[in-house]
Amino acid sequence: MTKSTQDAALLRQRAGTPMDPVDPDTPITEVTAARLRDAAEKAGEPFDGRSLTEAQARERLRHLEAANKD
């Protein structure tokens, strides 16, 4: 992996995008928590982000974003 590829991967992870896999024990990032909070609010569901790992939060975010498209 080149330096620029590593930098891009790190930026995607920090931005909370689900493009790269994350360690299952990685704590949720602030960016992902904010996105999850917004999606939960739009769906009328409680925000449960602080108790989730980054991987769990990304999965929950995908679910909420899909529900919000309906």
Q: Which domain holds residue 27?
A: 3-69
d(CA 67, CA 2): 37
pLDDT tens digits, one per residue of 10-30: 555 555 555 567 888 999 999
pLDDT in tens, the chain (70 residues): 566 555 555 555 555 555 567 888 999 999 999 999 999 999 999 987 778 999 999 999 999 998 888 7
Task: Output the pTM of the full model.
Answer: 0.66
Would the CA dihedral through 48, 52, 56, 57 be positive or negative?
A: positive
Give me the torsion for CA of 30, 48, 50, 10, rounded to 10°: -40
The number of folded domains in the chain is 1
